[in-house]
A and B are shown apart, each in its own frame.
Chain A
Amino acid sequence: MQENPIVLSLEGITKRFGALVANDRLDLTLHRGEILALLGENGAGKTTLMNILFGHYVQDEGIVRVGGQVLPPGSPGAALAAGVGMVHQHFALAENLSGLDNIRLGTEPLLRLGNGRSVARRKVEQIIAESGLEVDLDRRVAALTVGEKQRVEILKALYRDVRVLILDEPTAVLTPQESEGLFTVLRRLADNGLGVIFISHKLGEVLSVSHRIAVLRGGRKAGELVTAEADRRAIADLMVGKAVAEVKRTAPTPRETLVEFRNVSLARGVARAPLSNASFELRAGEIVGVAGVSGNGQAAIAALLSGLAVPSSGEVLLNGVTITSADPRALVAAGVARMPEDRQHDGVVGTMSVADNIAIEEVRGKPFARMGMLDRKAMRERATAAIAAYDIRCPGPDAEARLLSGGNVQKLILARVLEREPRVILANQPTRGLDVGAQSEVHRRIIAARDRGAAVMVISEDLDELFALADRFLVVHAGEVTDAGPSAVLDRGSVGLLMAGQSITSPSAASA
């Protein structure tokens, strides 16, 4: 496709934020009909570059051309008009409107009565038929799952007849089969002349879908390779600039049961999606991975194990004792370490200090408080030790948590929950949005805790992560939990089928 005309070129883009050079003379070209993968750790400059391309930031130097025309800097309107579409990692959808209205939003003419809706519906339905991006167009977006919301986002871009489509981590919420479906769509769209920029952390996907890979590191282009000639290891090393330590997983030695779910149901309302009649165990010295498309009951399991909810029916036993009240403090005291799914939203209070956020779960007891009075010195000491032990990059224990990057917030939470040597660990999306280096750090700590004898549950939308960590798989679909057995006998395909609600044994399902 190198012969195809260039649809997008970024020439010598430089962007400084104070002393920080976020983009340093970056050049990038995208051809018609090409899928370009943009790889890089957090802070490598991907987001800044895309924000410049999209007109959210004004570059200090360099120009952006779409179809040969120079885009005026700092004009999202011009970028849209030139046919640049973006699907963000964090969705920009109006929750109160239907899928169809969200897709139309901003495109419908202001002064026209009548049947714009039905025309739009026909066009969207045609796109759906071509792309396989199934969505109930009439449901309110608030009622859609995360995966469905993302499909609406992609449809929204396609609806605008874009020439360049940018996807930021698009597969995080899809099953492997759905991801494959998306790749098929992307390849077909590319064949029809669309230029696609695909931002991802997942090397496997990048290798399977892209034509060309550009790797950013520290604001510069670390390398650019043709996918057909690239290999996984080389790309990872390009991204971090040093050889990545592979996380070694030792063989599990499961021991006594620490947590037991007995016929647990949780009604919708407490969590987004219900859980029905789930039974499983977590044993000391074992990592259980929970696979599933988002919104199939993971949130319910996490809420129950975080002390945010009690079952509508059935029992959750911790150390053989039934949990009777939703009390996070009691769980913490009983030795449960909880890592929330949305670490910025549920994990830290952004305007409080690193020290406060490390102490927050145990702030009422010693050593952090006596007779209702805080011991700031003890809190700061713990934080200083944690910053060193967990390599939390921050100005110091008094820095506000909102100033920390996602990876460092996760390290802060690890420091908070692992320091107590917990017996049970709930790691919900432990590495979502983290770069390769931080990911292997988190994985190493989780495996070390399991080797110490903790019972670990990892809930993740990243199957690579689950296969790297889990000794045993649970798969959730539509609120039902299936024990898929030891990870050694599973592969991505069979887990994917369970995620889609089919059983592995039925051969007719394999065609899906």
Chain B
Amino acid sequence: MSFRLEPRANPSLALKLAVSLVAGLVALLLVAIPVLFAGGNPFSAYGLIIQGAFGSMFAFSETLNRATPLILTGLAAAVAFRARLWNIGAEGQLYIGALAAVLVGSGLFAMPPMLLIPTVMIAGFLAGGLMMVIPTMLKQRFGADEVVITLLLNFVVILFVQMLIEGPLKDPLSMGWPQSVPLLAEAKFDKLVPRLRMHWGLIVGLAAALLLWLMVRKTVLGFEIKAVGENRAAARFAGIPVNATMLKVALISGGLAGLAGVGEVAGVKGYLSADLSPGFGYSGIVVAMLAGLSPIGTVFAALFVAAMFVGADSMSRATGISNYLADLVVALSLLCVLVGGFFLRFRVRYERRPALAEGR
């Protein structure tokens, strides 16, 4: 008796949704084990997480606030991974975007908000984009591995930012704290609701997701990115300019991560510091993978991840169970989704006679 795998031709949407749902449930079941070990009741722990994430207007606003940069870094990873361009540098691109926002928005120009906010956003987008375009060019010229370059650039960028905020960009009024000069009031994003932290960056993220969805579905660029990502040789043979397309992808991907940095500076903190991002760039990869690289799915995946982190903080305060539970939930969800993807691609057949392997 044995099991055998057969490839599936075209999984239906219903099957895809069912697999995602089952994957989520399995993840929650698995996380219940450490909760039991910690002496907690899984049901009440999950209840508290949900309450902490969505239970009040304030809680929901915090979740959306947390989801905002994750949507943008998630989209950055999704668009790059679709083209098989492995951008692991969203964290650094986020910081460079934030740095550009501070450089342009802290008094270099005096402009009304209508002009200054777009200027700051464009600067952040271009700076982040450049941080991805350069590794992509190195890959094309010298065959350099973009995974290594973008990953290591994260540390270079963060150290560079630290140097600046301890030095030339240091705010003289910060009482010695390592933080940059603040943005002008005209450069800051308005809050969406008075006295709640969520800001216009959320609208930027949602608009970016919508635009990316349109690009993927409806535009020649989206078509060419798909062709280049799925079969580079065939794309080249068909006359699609592979290198130029990859550079466009790099600009968009890095730019989106840069916008995440702009949002954190202009929407939340008002200045640049070395603790601007608790790993939003890396979490963006998880978000994109959870979403199956779908732009619209990225919004929901970002919301899920943000809710877990915000909710786990409040659950932790109530029960004493460590808020690392959120990391566990997110990590196991990703693993379950990846395993689920396997079941989407293959059908498992049960068989009475012994079989070793299925040849293709």
Pairwise interchain contact A363-B220, C-beta atoms closer than 8 A: yes
- CB of A57 within 8 A of CB of B359, answer yes
Give the complex CA separation of A338 and B234 in angstroms. Answer: 12
Q: Give 1 or 0 for each of B314-357: 1 = CB within 8 Å of chain A CB.
A: 00000000000000000000000000000000000001011111
Q: Check A6 for interface membership: any CB of B closer than 8 A.
A: no
Tell whether A306 is near chain B: CB-to-CB under 8 Å.
Answer: yes
**In the complex the two chains form, what is the Cα distance from A418 to B121 in whole Å?**
48
A434 in the interface, Cβ–Cβ < 8 Å?
no
**Contact mask for chain A residues 317-342; partner B; CB cutoff 8 A; 1 contact, 0 none:** 00000000001110110000010100
Judged by a CB distance under 8 angstroms, whether A453 is at the interface is no
Verify if A131 is at the interface (C-beta below 8 Å from B): no
Asked if A374 contacts B236 (CB within 8 A), the reply is no
CB < 8 Å neighbour of B239 from A307, A356, A373, A374 = A307
CB distance from A324 to the nearest CB of B (A): 16
CB-CB < 8 A to B221: which residues of A? 372
B231 touches A350 (CB 8 A): yes
B224 interface contact, C-beta 8 A: yes
When the two chains form their complex, are residues B235 and A349 in contact, meaning their CB atoms are under 8 A apart?
Answer: yes
Determine the chain A residues whose CB is within 8 A of the CB of B237 once the complex forms: 306, 308, 328, 338, 340, 346-347
- Residues of chain B within 8 A of A308, CB atoms compared: 236-237
Query: Which residues of B have CB within 8 Å of A338?
Result: 237
Structural contact, A374 and B220, CB atoms closer than 8 A = yes
Is A68 an interface position by the 8 A CB rule?
A: no
Contacts of B218 in A (CB 8 A): 373-374, 376
Judge whether A55 is part of the interface by a CB distance below 8 angstroms: yes
Flag whether B230 is at the interface (Cβ < 8 A). Answer: yes
- In this complex, what residue of B is CB-closest to A350? B231
CA distance A328 to B235 in the complex (A): 10
Does B43 belong to the interface (CB within 8 Å)?
Answer: no
Q: Is B233 an interface residue (CB 8 A)?
A: yes
Q: Are A329 and B239 interface neighbours, CB within 8 A?
A: yes
B31 to chain A, nearest CB (A): 34
**A69-77, A272-280, A490-498: which one contacts chain B?**
A69-77
How far does the alpha carbon of A160 sit from the alpha carbon of B4 in the complex, in Å? 29
CA distance A77 to B219 in the complex (A): 51
Closest to B233 in A: A346
Total interface residues on B, CB under 8 Å, equals: 31
Taking a contact as CB atoms closer than 8 A, the residue among B234, B356, B358, B359 that contacts A348 in the complex is B234
How many angstroms from the CA of A209 to the CA of B328 in the assembled complex?
65
**Residues of B contacting A403 with CB < 8 Å?**
9-10
* CB proximity of A374 to chain B, nearest CB, Å: 6
Chain A: minimal CB distance from B320 (Å) = 49
Chain A CB count within 10 A is highest, among B236, B238, B240, B351, for B238
Given A356-B223, A372-B220: A349 and B230 within 8 A (CB)?
yes
**Is A126 interfacial (CB-CB < 8 Å)?**
no
Say whether A400 faces chain B, with CB atoms less than 8 Å apart.
yes
Tell me, in angstroms, the Cα distance from A57 to B219 when the chains sit together: 43
Q: Which of B6, B230, B357 contacts A352 (CB 8 A)?
A: B230
Residues of B within 8 A of A327 (CB): 239
What chain B residues lie within 8 Å of A352 (beta carbons)? 226-227, 230
A349: contacting residue among B226, B239, B351, B354, CB under 8 A: B226
Chain A: minimal CB distance from B247 (Å): 17
Closest A residue to B231 by beta carbon equals A349
Q: What does the 1/0 interface line of B192-220 toward A look like (CB < 8 Å)?
A: 00000000000000000000000000111
Instruction: From known contacts A372-B219, A372-B221, infer whether A360 and B238 are also in contact, taking CB-CB under 8 Å.
Output: yes
Question: Do A345 and B358 touch (CB < 8 A)?
Answer: no
A-B contacts, CB under 8 A, total: 96
Is A351 located at the chain interface by the 8 A CB criterion?
A: yes
Which has the most chain A C-beta neighbours within 10 Å: B221, B231, B354, B357?
A: B231
Task: Across the interface, name the chain B residue whose C-beta is closest to A57.
Answer: B359
A51 to chain B: closest residue by CB: B359
Q: How far is the CA of A202 from the CA of B4 in the complex (A)?
A: 35
Q: A328 vs B234: C-alpha distance in the bound complex, in angstroms?
A: 11
- A363 near B224: Cβ-Cβ < 8 Å: yes
CB distance from A229 to the nearest CB of B (A): 36
A364 contacts partner chain B, Cβ-Cβ < 8 Å = yes
| A55 to B354 CA separation, bound complex (whole angstroms) | 11
- A361: Cβ under 8 A from any B Cβ: yes
With a cutoff of 8 Å between Cβ atoms, the chain B residues found around residue A360 in the complex are: 223, 227, 234-235, 238, 240
Q: Find chain B residues with CB under 8 A from A72 CB.
A: 354
Most chain A beta-carbon neighbours within 10 Å: one of B219, B223, B358: B223
**Chain B residues in 8 Å Cβ range of A262:** none
| A72–B351 alpha-carbon span in the complex (Å) | 15
Q: Are A361 and B238 in contact (CB under 8 A)?
A: yes
Decide if A56 is an interface residue (CB 8 Å cutoff). Answer: yes
Measured between C-beta atoms, what is the minimum distance from B215 to chain A in Å?
10
Bitwise interface map of B from 7 to 23 toward A, beta carbon under 8 Å scored 1, else 0: 00110000000000000
B230 — which chain A residues lie within 8 A by C-beta? Answer: 349-352
A128 on the B face (CB < 8 A): no
Query: Is there a chain B Cβ closer than 8 Å to A58's Cβ?
Result: yes
- In the complex, 14 of the A-B residue pairs with CB atoms within 8 angstroms, ordered by the A residue number, are A17-B6, A74-B353, A74-B355, A328-B236, A328-B237, A329-B239, A332-B239, A340-B237, A345-B233, A346-B237, A352-B230, A356-B227, A360-B227, A361-B238
Smallest CB-CB A-B distances: 10 pairs: A56-B359, A328-B239, A329-B239, A74-B355, A349-B231, A360-B238, A346-B237, A58-B355, A351-B230, A369-B220
Told that A54-B359, A403-B9 touch, could you supply 7 new A-B pairs with CB distance under 8 A? Answer: A74-B353, A307-B239, A327-B239, A345-B234, A347-B237, A360-B223, A363-B224
